[in-house]
Chain A
Amino acid sequence: MKMKHIICILPFLLLLISCQKTSEKQISYIVSKSISGFDVNYRTADGTLIKEKVEIVSAEDPWTYSFVAEEGDIVFLSTIYKDISSAINVQILIDGKVYKQGSSKYDTVSYVTVSGTVPYE
């Protein structure tokens, strides 16, 4: 009799230890429309700030960086270019959807910075 009751109660135990929904998100940084290269600062999955000088051969050749992040993680992408005839478009995508974006044209003074935290659902 007791065993029968224990078996009845097992589903509740299973519910207690039931799996959590994953909070992982696919993050993509994209820099495009630059005709001659740019400097980029971006934050990686482990929180490191990377500074890179990127050479570009054509405006059709975007720079991308992807990683997996969790809800609440900071995403950060900042760029500047030195060619006065250039332009730039920066985007942060979360699971393929544009989360933040910015752009500039013929502006070699101001950084284009897009950033935020991966939203909680």
Chain B
Amino acid sequence: MTGARSERWTPVLFLAPAVVALLAIGLYPLLLALTTSFRTYLVAKPNLPKDFVGFANYAAVLGDPTFWQALGRTFLFLLVVLPIELAVGLAIALLLHQPGLSLLRALLRLSLVIPLATTFAVVGLIGRLMFNDQFGVVNHLLGIVGIAPVQWLGQPTTAFLAVALMDIWQWTPFVALVLLAGLTMVPAEIEEAAKLDAGGAWAILRHIQLPFLLPGITAVLILRTADILKLFDLIFVMTRGGPGSATELIAVYIQRIGFRVFDQGIASAQAILLLIVTIVLSRLYIRLVYREVA
């Protein structure tokens, strides 16, 4: 009897630390943000009362044109970087999936991990140096092919482009590794049979490999969308959201409200709205893209 009871509790005890940690670092901050979003909470004015204000913070956020502009800029960023990361990542994955390239594959896999292992802030610093108009490597390379130096970080469009390029540099390897994992799931005999049936590379990709890639693509879409919606460090170090507000994505704006203006009520309402956007997009991705292999 005692043995049966202890057997019943063993899994609970094993799971408990993870569940407690998840509640502490996941659920508690979320609930705190939710309750804060319904209050006046100016951190830097501790003498002001933290009154319950209902949906006033949400109304203020929804009526704030800067919030919408930052959100629009974030979706533009998403639309620029995600397709490129998927296309280039798929090309790398297909290259590494070729038989007989074991040394190249080992080297490339190793080098693909390097950008992933670099923190966002360091990527921002690298970007600031690479796109420096005086001694940056990007202008140096352009100079070799006869293109005049570009004021990358001093002009709105080029600054946006420079930040996008750094994001693509950092995250394309992640996409490539996820898609490569998907390709390794394709049964070798089916691929062989398709090749023998004289199927072209496109036909094999479309009909044989793509079904195995869809779960990975869905994961990439969800993770990268969430990443871009909270992209802060890279931009703060590289451009601080400028020039003007050219690179002020939504997370940079929320940080500005939360930790410069110290209006935690408004910042929490913005964060909750952003969470809702992320959840809606994730559900859309799963509904539209995700397919189990039949």
Q: Tell whether A and B belong to one assembly.
A: no
Report A's interface with B, CB cutoff 8 A. none
Report B's interface with A, CB cutoff 8 A. none
